[in-house]
Amino acid sequence: MLKIGEFSKIAQVSIKTLRYYDRMGLLKPGHIDRFTGYRYYNLSQLVRLNRILTLKDLDFTLEQIQELMKLDLSGDGLGKMLKSKAKELRQRITDERARLLRVENRLKNMQEGFHINTSPVILKSAPNQVIATVREMLPSVQDLQPWQNTQLKKVHHYLSSLNEKPTGPDLLIYHQDEYREVDLDVEIGTIIRETHDNTDKQIKKGDILIHNLFAVNQMATTITTQKTNMSDTYASLAHWTQVNGFRPIGPWRELIFTQEDSSSVQVVEIQRPVMKAIAFYQKLEINEMEPKIITKPEFTLIGMRYFGNNEHQEIFELWGKFNRRVEELGGIENDTGEAAVGLNTTPVDAPEDGAFEYVAGVLVSEAGNVPEDFVIRHVPEYTYAVFAHKGDLPSLKHTYAYIYESWLPQSGYKLPSKIDFEYYNEDFKYFQPDSVFYIYIPIEKK
């Protein structure tokens, strides 16, 4: 047997490390002299020590190695562990490359003087939250501040009447993807509490809606104050998102932290839900690859009509107008309750600007009393390719591009009619990350 010093020299492992492995139970001495306390090792223990060192070199922690040594894994078992470790290391390399890219871009921005006075951008997650808000379409950006102040007072007064105390800051959400100075679709309110249940029922009192704001895995965020130029901060965050390989997947948010001292500077955290662009497009491709082929019987749709090329998001505004009108009417007669439908129809003599008809409406069992500002559309039975669009609104154009530019030309099908429609049932969650609606494309064999 060898003393610990001799074993240390042969194994090329320090005495301190051997004693630590002993305390962990990874490598016990072959014998300990009960009088002197000297540790002795057998040469055969080099096999076990080398196995420990090999696993350590493969980046297993000592705790993981301890479990592996207990299991005495077979070749198949060890192979699975190594595959898992390889996956972990690949992800770590990807994460470190992304971190390196962020560092390099930050350095580059400093050297180029790009918004060097703005706060740095960091990634964080956001939980499911219950919020109380008011949402409205504002004529211009000049209307935002007075409207925001008025609505926040209304929301806080209503919560006070419910003995509901907010636990988070006030919240402003911009529901358009691009910057606008007119026709702003904005939502203002406050965070009531976090929740693990994202299926809570909505509560509506006049303009105030208590509902869920869904969790976000990755949120690009930065801090600013009212004294700084907000446009610079937004530009900085958008620039960071692009150069670091991310893609926005949700609306801009502002968390407004109001301090008790009215003379203090108001702190605002600007947020944008993001996702790595590569992962986003891989996910998008997977979602689009396999449409379902079904036959849907003829149906009747009653709704409100728009004709144009949707240059300024008029379809989105049409849905808002339609929903408000239905609420005023107390519902649509003979509504089947199956789904809301957005019907696209391209006229045979389509104008050069690409204009089309879009009807936002609901399916009905029969056309009854139709309001004057509504239209009726009958769609005959067709065989359809049905595509699931998952996630946000900005990516919808990529789904349509895939359908018409990639899938259809290679599918062996052709279009029997110049229509398609969007089918919004209970799976639709207003373009949240887990939201789904369905795009129906009529098809027939070539």
Residues 237 and 305 in one domain: no
Residue 411 located in a structural domain: yes
- Here the tokens at position 138 are 């504002």
> d(Cα 85, Cα 83) in Å, to the nearest integer?
5
Domain assignment of residue 414, yes or no: yes
Q: How large is the average pLDDT for residues 311-329?
A: 87
Whether 46 is covered by a domain: the verdict is yes
Local structure of residue 416 (DSSP, 8 states): S
Domain region containing 32: 2-71
Contact indicator for 176, 222 with CB cutoff of 8 Å? no
Domain boundary among 274, 306, 334: 274
Q: What separation in angstroms does the CA of 148 have from each of 8, 141, 143, 318?
A: 72, 11, 8, 24
Query: In this structure, what CATH number is given to the domain that contains residue 343?
Result: 3.20.80.10
Same domain, 295 and 251: no
Same domain? For 247 and 309 the reply is no
Instruction: Name the domain boundary from 42, 71, 100.
Output: 71
Q: 307 pLDDT band (50/70/90 cuts)?
A: very high
- Decide if 284 contacts 394 (C-beta within 8 A): no
Q: Is 169 exposed, middle or buried (0-12, 13-18, 19+ CB in 10 A)?
A: middle
Does the residue 103 lie in any domain?
A: no
pLDDT of residue 421: 96
Give pTM, 2 decimals. 0.46
- Count up the domains in the chain and report the number: 3
Q: Are residues 226 and 312 in the same domain?
A: no
The verdict on 317 and 402 lying in the same domain is yes
Contact by Cβ (8 Å): 384, 440: yes
Asked if 11 and 46 count as a contact pair (C-beta separation under 8 A), the reply is yes
Instruction: Report the distance separating Cα 388 and Cα 383, nearest Å.
Output: 16
Answer whether residue 281 is part of any domain: no
Q: Considering the domain boundaries, does residue 269 fall inside one? A: yes
pLDDT tens track for 63-119: 888 877 776 555 566 677 778 788 888 878 877 777 777 677 667 666 655 544 557
Residues 127 and 270 occupy one common structural domain:
yes
Q: Are residues 381 and 269 in the same domain?
A: no
Residues 9 and 129 in one domain: no
pLDDT tens track for 233-252: 888 888 888 778 788 888 88
| The pLDDT of residue 385 is above 90 | yes
* pLDDT score of 281: 55
pLDDT of residue 55 exceeding 70: yes
Question: Could you tell me if 251 and 313 lie in one domain?
Answer: no
pLDDT of residue 151: 94
CA atoms of 2 and 11, how far apart (whole Å): 11
Q: In terms of domains, do 150 and 209 share one?
A: yes
48 membership: H or E segment, kind and range: helix 45-57
- Given pLDDT bands bounded at 50, 70 and 90, which one contains residue 344? very high
DSSP run (H or E) holding 158: helix 144-161
CATH of the domain at 21: 1.10.1660.10
Are 362 and 426 in a shared domain? yes
Q: Work out the pLDDT band at 310, boundaries 50, 70, 90.
A: confident
In the chain, % of residues over pLDDT 70: 86
Contact indicator for 321, 380 with CB cutoff of 8 Å: no
Task: Identify the domain boundary among 249, 274, 299.
Answer: 274
pLDDT at 45 over 70: yes
Q: What is the pLDDT of residues 180-218, one digit of tens each?
A: 778 888 999 999 988 765 445 567 888 898 888 878 888
Is 305 within the bounds of a domain?
yes
433 near 249, Cβ under 8 Å? yes
Q: Which two tokens stand for residue 357?
A: 């008809």
Same structural domain, 235 and 189: yes
DSSP secondary structure string for all residues of 96-119: HHHHHHHHHHHHHHHHHTSSTTSP
Instruction: Give the percent of the chain with pLDDT over 90.
Output: 26
CA distance 8 to 21: 12
- Sequence-ordered strand ranges (E) for 160-251: 170-174, 182-194, 203-205, 208-213, 216-225, 246-248
**Is 282 a domain residue?**
no
β-strands 413-414, 335-345: how paired? unpaired
The region of weakest confidence among 63-77, 323-337, 426-440 is 63-77
Cβ neighbors of 345 (< 8 A, separation 6 or more) are 356, 357, 358, 359, 377, 418, 419
- What's the one-letter identity of residue 440? Y
Please name which of 10, 6, 12, 19 lies closest in space to residue 53, comparing C-alpha atoms.
Answer: 12
